[in-house]
């Protein structure tokens, strides 16, 4: 039996302290009853399940709070939603009714006694729910999910009621009061729906990357090339926590603005078409994918041919730093498992030893140039920097043993040509992508 009942100020003093805790605490003060002044109820609102009866009690009381001899009558405002049948009166309730959900919806009961009329709100809910919709939703996509409400026998119910839709992770997807799911960050989360009366249902949903509909400045390029991606119509503005990967290899980010992200194509160890993924787009952390073709498995835009010998220190042509860099920007390249070890210190010193994997030419003009060279990478390799003059003599190096970066500061004399080389200490088998910055040119 439901525990709340209605009372007015006129009868409040006549009810025992704590009467609002439940009808079992309802106390009549005694004495001959007077005319009906109010109607006491087990509850002023009810929630019932379709096909399941709930007891509802009512008594007419006088101004002193005594139960009168008048038995209230209870009627449904809409028999298609709620039906009413008689129950057995108790010493507390002059009228006990069985309230049974007949269909989904909201209606009321009218309770009448001695010229008084009270109204009770009633909401009905299903015995069970089934959530329908796809198992996968794209990030940034909106998909409408639906419900089937069933009775205790599993039969589908018509009509409507109010449901509570909840996402177990709003970082993965949001859902509104109609079941419209909005995909956000990638991953798996659960949608849960609750109905009046306690029925609920859940469904697991995978949020997958959406389709990139913006523009790419390049769709085919070797490693190290800088690509600009711009958002498509309706996409959120780009923000600073975005990341990019080709296949499973993370790309270096050159810059991000509201309408563009610039990134370097990483070498992945696999040539050909691969999935380009852009993550953490906008406040809802969208993810999108496109197809991108890297024609080289390990090469990059600045890949020289690895030399088996120094050849008497006559160095081959190398990319010019002053040509590839504008305002102390970055250059990107990859090492593909080529290492020189301790012998690399003499690589350009005439000993017939392996030359560095990558090298760049620095040519100065009439003034000397103090340059800070910063080489960064992400996978824990050990990489070294060499500065070699035109005669093949090593004049500076970065041999710190660091697994994340090397920094070398060197003043290039006026009117000279030097070469800056980089090689992995150990050959290894991993593809390593680098960002090299020449600051001070």
Give the tens place of pLDDT for each residue, 211-269. Answer: 999 999 999 998 889 999 999 999 999 999 999 999 999 999 999 999 999 999 998 88
Q: Which of these ranges, 50-59, 94-103, 294-303, has the smallest mean pLDDT?
A: 294-303
The mean per-residue pLDDT over the stretch 88-116 comes to: 94
Question: pLDDT value at position 417?
Answer: 87
Question: pLDDT value at position 401?
Answer: 67
Level-2 CATH architecture, domain 321-439: Sandwich (2.60)
Of residues 269 and 40, the one with the higher pLDDT is 40
Tell me the average pLDDT of the chain.
83
Of residues 426 and 55, the one with the higher pLDDT is 55
Question: pLDDT value at position 158?
Answer: 87
Residue ranges of domains in the chain: 9-125, 128-208, 211-294, 321-439
Of residues 88 and 316, the one with the higher pLDDT is 88
The mean per-residue pLDDT over the stretch 60-86 comes to: 93
Residue 348: is its pLDDT beyond 60? no
Q: Let me know if domain 211-294 sits in CATH 2.102.10.10.
A: no
Q: What is the DSSP letter of 430?
A: S
Taking Cα atoms as reference points, which of 335, 331, 333 lies closest to residue 254? 331
Question: pLDDT value at position 333?
Answer: 86
Residue 299: is its pLDDT beyond 90? no
The pair of structure tokens assigned to 46 is: 């009810």
Question: pLDDT value at position 31?
Answer: 63
**Calpha distance 40→67 (Å, rounded):** 9
Question: pLDDT value at position 1?
Answer: 30
CA torsion angle 79 81 84 90 (round to 10): -160
**Calpha distance 142→22 (Å, rounded):** 46
Give the pTM. 0.77
Give the tens place of pLDDT for each residue, 149-203. Answer: 999 888 999 888 899 999 999 999 999 999 999 999 999 999 999 999 999 999 9
Question: pLDDT value at position 418?
Answer: 87
Q: Which of these ranges, 19-33, 69-83, 100-114, 248-262, has the smallest mean pLDDT?
A: 19-33
The mean per-residue pLDDT over the stretch 325-347 comes to: 61
Of residues 359 and 254, the one with the higher pLDDT is 254
Q: pLDDT band for position 337 (50/70/90)? A: low
**Calpha distance 251→265 (Å, rounded):** 6
Top-tier CATH class for 9-125: mainly beta
Question: pLDDT value at position 226?
Answer: 93
The pair of structure tokens assigned to 297 is: 């498995």
Terminal CA-CA length for the chain: 85
C-beta of residue 193 within 8 angstroms of C-beta of residue 164: yes
Taking Cα atoms as reference points, which of 27, 198, 59, 70 lies closest to residue 123? 198
Q: pLDDT band for position 96 (50/70/90)? A: very high
Measuring CA to CA, how many Å separate 178 from each of 145, 158, 182, 203? 8, 16, 12, 15
Residue 89: is its pLDDT beyond 60? yes
User: Domain 128-208 belongs to what topology?
Assistant: Immunoglobulin-like (2.60.40)
Question: pLDDT value at position 378?
Answer: 78
**Calpha distance 277→248 (Å, rounded):** 9
Q: Which of these ranges, 86-90, 210-214, 313-317, 428-432, has the smallest mean pLDDT?
A: 313-317
Percent pLDDT > 70 in the chain is 80
The mean per-residue pLDDT over the stretch 137-148 comes to: 97
243-272 burial, b if ≥16 CB within 10 A, otherwise e?
Answer: ebbbeebbbbebebeeeebbbbbbbbbeee
**Calpha distance 63→242 (Å, rounded):** 71
Taking Cα atoms as reference points, which of 365, 382, 355, 358 lies closest to residue 436? 358
The mean per-residue pLDDT over the stretch 6-19 comes to: 32
How many C-beta neighbours within 10 Å does residue 172 have? 24
Phi, psi of 16 (to 5 degrees): -65, 150
Rg (CA), the chain: 39
Hey, which bits of 43-81 come out as E strands?
45-49, 53-61, 73-76
Q: pLDDT band for position 314 (50/70/90)? A: very low
**Calpha distance 46→77 (Å, rounded):** 13
Q: Taking phi first (over 0 means left), then psi (-120 to 50 degrees means alpha), and beta for anything else, what does residue 105 get?
A: left
Q: Which of these ranges, 2-16, 111-125, 176-190, 295-309, has the smallest mean pLDDT?
A: 2-16
The mean per-residue pLDDT over the stretch 3-12 comes to: 34
Residue 290: is its pLDDT beyond 80? yes
Residue 140: is its pLDDT beyond 60? yes
C-beta of residue 366 within 8 angstroms of C-beta of residue 416: no
Of residues 68 and 422, the one with the higher pLDDT is 68
**Calpha distance 308→18 (Å, rounded):** 95
Question: pLDDT value at position 4?
Answer: 33
| Helices and strands counted in the chain (H then E) | 2, 34
Taking Cα atoms as reference points, which of 265, 343, 269 lies closest to residue 302? 265
Of residues 318 and 347, the one with the higher pLDDT is 318
Of residues 77 and 330, the one with the higher pLDDT is 77
Q: In sequence order, what are the beta bridge partners of 205? A: 189
Measuring CA to CA, how many Å separate 85 from each of 40, 53, 97, 101, 169? 19, 9, 6, 12, 44
Question: pLDDT value at position 334?
Answer: 83
Q: Do the two domains 9-125 and 321-439 of this chain adopt the same fold?
A: no
Question: pLDDT value at position 328?
Answer: 61
Hey, which bits of 134-264 come out as E strands?
136-138, 142-144, 146-150, 164-167, 173-175, 180-183, 187-194, 200-208, 210-211, 215-216, 226-230, 243-246, 249-250, 253-257, 260-264
């Amino acid at each position: 039996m439901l525990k709340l009942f209605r009372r007015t100020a006129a009868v409040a003093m006549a009810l025992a302290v704590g009467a609002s805790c439940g009808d079992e605490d309802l106390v009549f003060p005694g004495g001959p009853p007077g005319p009906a002044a109010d109607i006491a109820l087990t509850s002023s609102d009810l929630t019932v399940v379709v096909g399941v009866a709930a007891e509802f009690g009512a008594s007419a009381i006088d101004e002193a709070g005594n139960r009168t001899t008048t038995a209230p009558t209870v009627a449904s405002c809409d028999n298609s939603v709620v039906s009413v049948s008689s129950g057995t009166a108790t010493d507390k309730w002059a009228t006990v009714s069985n309230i049974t959900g007949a269909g989904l919806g909201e209606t009321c009961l009218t309770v009448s006694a001695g010229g008084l009329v009270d109204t009770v709100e009633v909401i009905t809910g299903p015995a069970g729910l089934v959530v329908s919709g796809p198992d996968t939703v794209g990030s940034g996509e909106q998909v409408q999910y639906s419900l089937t409400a069933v009775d205790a026998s599993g039969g589908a119910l018509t009509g409507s009621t109010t449901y509570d839709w909840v996402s177990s992770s709003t970082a993965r997807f949001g859902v509104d009061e109609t079941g419209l799911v909005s995909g956000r960050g990638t991953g798996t989360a659960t949608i849960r729906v609750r109905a009046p009366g306690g029925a609920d249902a859940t469904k697991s949903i995978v949020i997958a990357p959406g389709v990139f509909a913006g523009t790419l400045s390049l769709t085919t390029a070797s490693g190290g090339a800088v690509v600009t991606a711009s958002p498509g119509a309706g996409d959120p503005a780009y923000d600073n926590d975005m990341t990019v990967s080709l296949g499973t290899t993370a790309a270096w980010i050159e810059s991000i603005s509201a309408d563009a992200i610039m990134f370097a194509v990483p070498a992945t160890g696999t040539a050909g078409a691969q999935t380009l993924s852009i993550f953490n787009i906008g406040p809802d952390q969208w993810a999108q994918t496109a197809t991108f073709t890297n024609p080289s498995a390990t090469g990059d835009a600045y890949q020289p041919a690895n030399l088996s010998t120094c050849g008497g220190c006559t160095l081959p042509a190398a990319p010019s730093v002053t040509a590839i860099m504008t305002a102390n920007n970055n250059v990107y390249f990859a090492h593909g498992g080529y290492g020189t070890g301790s012998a690399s210190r003499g690589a350009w010193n005439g000993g017939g030893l392996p030359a560095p994997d990558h090298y760049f030419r620095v040519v100065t003009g009439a003034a000397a140039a103090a340059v800070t060279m910063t080489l960064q990478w992400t996978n824990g390799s050990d990489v070294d920097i060499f500065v070699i003059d035109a005669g093949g003599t090593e004049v500076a190096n970065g041999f710190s043993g660091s697994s994340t970066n090397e920094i070398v500061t060197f003043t290039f004399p006026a009117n000279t040509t030097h070469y800056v080389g980089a090689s992995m200490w150990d050959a290894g088998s991993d593809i390593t992508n680098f960002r090299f910055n020449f600051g001070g040119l």
